[in-house]
Structure 1
């Protein structure tokens, strides 16, 4: 009787582990579809800048704008895999009917205060409202022009622009490396979660088998 109860309970727990692992695999396929849709939206043909960009409906929207790039800059500290530490260059961009911001791309730490091309140019990129402020993120240091998160409203107030940010796809200045919008920063950990549940299921099978063997083993 004890063996039967142990077996039934063990099967029930195993079913829970396997169902959770299967659910995470389903979530994985769903998330991959979402990321494919985001990638398609990011790489679509650019359109004119909307009259009233919206953080929800226009996130990642590909746009093209013509205007004058200002010389004012905000320097956002960032680290890249291939180029190490440096700064994203956030600059005001006057399109004639409004003043917005452009994330021009990456420069190394040594080029923080270098002169860059400004004036009339065309910018192609994606609208974005990054969410980069966490509890561990240091406070910005505007006096030294060290920024640690791209917060559109905060940066817009500092540069006296509308709260609109275009992340450039390419650069007219060869000294600036574009860091265009991609879906790579969007977390997709469902495969790891699924493997965790399946490993727990495998471990449970071994433990259950050992327990049943101990119960059935004759005692002296």
Structure 2
């Protein structure tokens, strides 16, 4: 018997021939033959449906097996853990840019309101105080990206301010440019921590500056990318 998915032509022709014979001859015997023909056709059609379903199941199984094989044969991918962004709500972490008012060589006493610049192998810790009233507080930057410095190969985060903050930043840095050290510096504060105190030689009108850490070379590739994502989760 043909088990293909085509119509069961043999059973259909037999069924039609028997019914034609019944119509011509009549009688109980003819009716019985017609009943047998109907049952044979039902069986053939059931077999056809099962065959089609079987083909579908085999095809689905083949597709699934092929997909799993492709996945298994793919080269292993490194497990990448993305650092947390912003404040956990998908919003960018704000940054404050504050004029430095003083810097003394010791860690800040608790409750002094200053920001401690940690010690290095060549210099002691410093306590930096800044003026929040004159500074720019809780600024959300337009963009931030981690990159290596072309000058010395150290990691940094390049920050770009939006148009309104760019104007304010130009005015702030312009007012610091003529002051003596350390009052020609501005403190970069993120989440209450000091991330640098760059000095200003003239007004910064492009709205762009770099974060290198409290000291040049503090940032690694991982910490630079982490900081960039915190400041600019939309990247």
Measured against the shorter chain, the TM-score band is: under 0.3
**TM-score under structure 1 normalisation?**
0.24
Greater relative CO, 1 or 2 (CA 8 Å, sep 6+): 1
